Structure 1
Amino acid sequence: MGFLVDRLGIRLLLLMGATIPVPAPAEVVRALTEVRVVRHAGGRDGFTLTFSIGKDKSLDYALTAAGATGVLNRVVIVALLGAVPDVLIDGVITLQQHIPDQEPGRSRLVVTGTDLMTLLDLEEKNAEFPAMPDFAIVQRILAGYPALALAPVTVPTSEIPIPFERIPRQAETDLAFIHRLAHRNGYVFYIDSLSVLANTAYFGPETRLGLPQPALSMDSGMGSNVASLSFTQDGLAPVAPSGTFFEPITKTVLPIPPLPSLRIPPLSSSPTPAARKVLLRDAGNKSPGLALSASVSAVSTAPPSVTGTGQVDTAHYGSVLHIRRPVGVRGAGRTYDGLYYVQRVTHQIDVRHSKYTQDFTLTREGTGSLLPAVPP
């Protein structure tokens, strides 16, 4: 199926299915009026599909009867700008909202869903993982979801627990447990699409590597491609952790040294200094490895101090913005020009009026540019 082709040169593909998604049925395609996809590097991804529905001669709703919009069915939404497909989201339906209307053709079916991590959050479990480092635990958990065909990418963690000292225990869902393991190591966990029906599960430090996306340009005359863009700097966002830990060999209490953030590479030439001091109050009860990890986690999970928010018209910008990748900003002045990390993107597609916009949130740790933006 394809939408927006004539006016914008953009095609939208929709795949749906109970197990393996396939191209959506014709009646579903014809009924689709709006698509909204939210991608969030620091939270959960979601989507909303709005359909215009009407009763057929049997007084049943043909769209719901088709079965493609059933709860927990899988949905893949793909945008094609040119020949390269960009998977906006691969997820599952979690909610249906049927909104009848007395006026013919005005009834709607709104289908809401979340990313594939939902399937890791359906069952609470009790389990033990003796002598297993955290990254190996994550590998074992992900192996229990063969139907998702995930390609795991796990970065080794520093501590291997000794059974007579500590045994890692799970008392929550797989997703909640993985997030707990990620937080204590200063890591992140997410599932992202490599291509259609091919996904990776990443457990490791937040990385900003990769080729920068085409620059977001403002105040550049004909070269401007953003509808709006503004910036804020929060001086209370960074933190400086402090604490002590017990060194078992020398039997001494040592201070936790200052440790850098795991967010790599840095993107600003003038990072915002940490005005807030936080105490790692339980670090003394941890092993040296876990105490150091707690310090790294506090620095790495603190909010970035500089945030940029704005909107682009996709046809004008000419590209799909990807979260967890760098993008350049030009025309905002020396303080705010340069590379940013794309934290959040909301894709809003109005099929009826052939309009596709992207609202975005950019972040970095301070002001000033380390590297120039890549031209659009």
Structure 2
Amino acid sequence: MPQGNLNLTILIGANTPRPAPTKLTEAIDSLMIIYRDSGRSGFQIVFRVGRSTPADLQDDPLLRGSEEQLLLPFNRVIVTMTLNSQPRVLLDGIITFHEFAPSLELGESIFTITGEDVGVMMDLEEKSIEHPELNDKTIVETLITQYGKYGLVPKLSTPQWSERPLNTERVPVQLGTDLAYIQELANRHGFVFYIKPGAVTGQNIAYWGSPDRAAVPSKPLTFNMGSFTNVDTINFQYDGLAATKVVGQVQDRKTNQIQAVSQTSSQRSLFSREPALTTQSHIRTTQFRQSARLATQASAYAQAKVDQSIDRVITATGEVDTLTYGDLLQAGGTVDLRGVGYTYDGRYYVNEVTHEIRQGDYKQRFVMTREGVGTTRSSVNV
């Protein structure tokens, strides 16, 4: 699908994906890819099909023969995009769903495949298993390494609080799929877990850690600055109920002493001059209600809840034309915004990017967040 300075290459197959045949690529009407820093990422490819020759009397061309075998559920799809002579892996996913909408008009039938990132293969089998004498980080690494055939490379952070329990104390138990358990452990520590394509075709980065606010920012987003403008639309929302303090008590399971739990500030690096947690007139306060914890463990878990609460005080949504922008936004990365004004300019963490591609048109929709208003940056690198 060539488009100006942009070209897409598609690999598809059951085990080792290979270049898609011309008949398949020429039938593509549109491609949508969604990457999120938490939850499920996925894709959808729409094909225009139709029966136009005697050989098509029995079925539409893409629904029979070798093309049909390529589009079967659980086949792997890899899309590489070359933008301004720089190749990047845009998608590495697994087909999970089909939809066929026949039409009376010649060539107007629609065949759609939908799928998720390769992490869906970690979500197929519910398990009831123990992980004796392993801390949370080691458990996550152990689970991820079982999916080496999908090129998963762990990129894991060490939690603020970590424990390797003895069998005589307790045994961590997994009740659910590998993916669900990894996400549960991430939430416990205020972490995110997501899978994104690596720099090499067939490689995927499995990230488990705090939102990467130290990531090198993408090319700046520019609004209402004449010829420098690259943002088509943008909207901001301020949630005054998001930021939260956590207080309470816990009975230390080793000393049996009642200990106070109080976390009222965030350990996230700040992108705003006026963080909601410290500048709002009113802040929500929740009770720490977990039991059978060590005092240090309870404090760390409370801190994770506070950190998570500030992540979406400000939410910005918008859209850019990719050829005008000249770069790709990265979910799980950062980006600087200019041209909107002091209140909302500055650096943001990118939570979600949706790529919408069709012949002659490539848009990126984005969701990005931070903890308050007011820019902390006087300039950006262009």
TM-score higher than 0.5 here? yes
Q: Calculate the aligned-residue CA RMSD, in Å.
A: 1.8
Distance 1:49 1:262, change over 3 A: farther
* 1:236-315 matches, cutoff 5 A: 236-247=241-252, 251-258=256-263, 260-261=265-266, 263=268, 265-273=269-277, 275-282=283-290, 284-302=291-309, 303-315=311-323
Partner of 1:36: 32
**Residue 95 of structure 1 pairs with residue 102 of structure 2:** no
User: 1:50, 1:110 within 8 Å by CA — same for their partners in 2?
Assistant: yes
Partner of 1:82: 84
Corresponding residue pairs, total: 368
User: 2:253, 2:292 within 8 Å by CA — same for their partners in 1?
Assistant: no
Give the letter for the 1:243 counterpart: G
Partner of 1:374: 380
Q: Using the alignment, how far apart are the partners of 1:39 and 1:198 within structure 2? A: 16
SS of equivalent to 1:322: coil
User: 2:213, 2:349 within 8 Å by CA — same for their partners in 1?
Assistant: yes
Q: Percent identity?
A: 34
The one of 208, 213, 220 equivalent to 1:208 is 213
Partner of 2:61: 62
Per-residue CA deviations over 1:96-141 (Å, capped at 9, x if unaligned) read 1111111111111011111111000000111111111011111111
Partner of 2:141: 139
**Residue 15 of structure 1 pairs with residue 11 of structure 2:** yes
Give the letter for the 2:226 counterpart: G
Deviation at 1:148, TM superposition (A): 1.3
User: 2:125, 2:177 within 8 Å by CA — same for their partners in 1?
Assistant: yes
Partner of 1:177: 181
State the TM-score, normalized to the length of structure 1: 0.93
Partner of 1:224: 229
Give the letter for the 1:192 counterpart: K
Partner of 2:49: 53
* 1:106-185 matches, cutoff 5 A: 106-157=108-159, 158-185=162-189
Deviation at 1:242, TM superposition (A): 1.0
Q: Which moved more, 1:88-97 or 1:366-375?
A: 366-375
SS of equivalent to 1:60: coil
Give the letter for the 1:367 counterpart: V
SS of equivalent to 1:160: coil
The one of 235, 239, 242 equivalent to 1:234 is 239
Distance 1:259 1:14, change over 3 A: farther
Q: Which moved more, 1:64-73 or 1:172-181?
A: 64-73
Q: Using the alignment, how far apart are the partners of 2:381 and 2:133 within structure 1? A: 50
Q: Using the alignment, how far apart are the partners of 1:100 and 1:174 within structure 2? A: 38
Q: Which runs of 5+ in 1 are unaligned?
A: none
The one of 347, 366, 369 equivalent to 1:363 is 369
Q: Using the alignment, how far apart are the partners of 2:254 and 2:97 within structure 1? A: 55
State the TM-score, normalized to the length of structure 2: 0.91
Q: Using the alignment, how far apart are the partners of 2:256 and 2:50 within structure 1? A: 75
Distance 1:248 1:111, change over 3 A: closer
SS of equivalent to 1:126: strand
Deviation at 1:255, TM superposition (A): 0.9
Deviation at 1:86, TM superposition (A): 2.6
Q: Using the alignment, how far apart are the partners of 1:164 and 1:187 within structure 2? A: 28
Per-residue CA deviations over 1:293-334 (Å, capped at 9, x if unaligned) read 320221132242011111111111111111111111111111
Q: Using the alignment, how far apart are the partners of 2:265 and 2:206 within structure 1? A: 25
Q: Which runs of 5+ in 2 are unaligned?
A: none
Give the letter for the 1:166 counterpart: R
